[in-house]
């Protein structure tokens, strides 16, 4: 039986758990907790990626 994940993401409201520190580091460096980089000029929508903004 595999060991259960032992590291919980420190960000409030995030339910991500990881088995290893490297996995948690990758999660924290991902877009999961970064501010959106793309702002819509017509409204208050913010997107993580340019293609998402274009689709919006």
H or E element at residue 22: helix 21-29
Q: Where are the domains of the chain?
A: 7-55
Q: State the Cα–Cα distance between residues 50 and 46, nearest whole angstrom.
A: 10
* pLDDT tens digit sequence for 8-56: 999 999 999 999 999 999 999 887 888 888 999 999 999 888 899 999 9
Token pair of 35 as six digits: 């501010």
Identify the pLDDT of residue 7. 95
Residue 3: pLDDT band with limits 50, 70, 90: confident
Residue 2 scores a pLDDT above 80 = no
Q: What's the confidence (pLDDT) of residue 35?
A: 85
């Amino acid at each position: 039986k595999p060991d259960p994940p032992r590291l919980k993401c420190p960000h409030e409201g995030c339910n991500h758990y990881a088995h290893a520190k490297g996995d948690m580091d990758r999660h924290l460096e991902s877009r999961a907790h970064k501010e959106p980089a793309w702002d819509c000029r017509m409204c208050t929508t913010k997107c993580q990626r340019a293609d998402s903004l274009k689709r919006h």
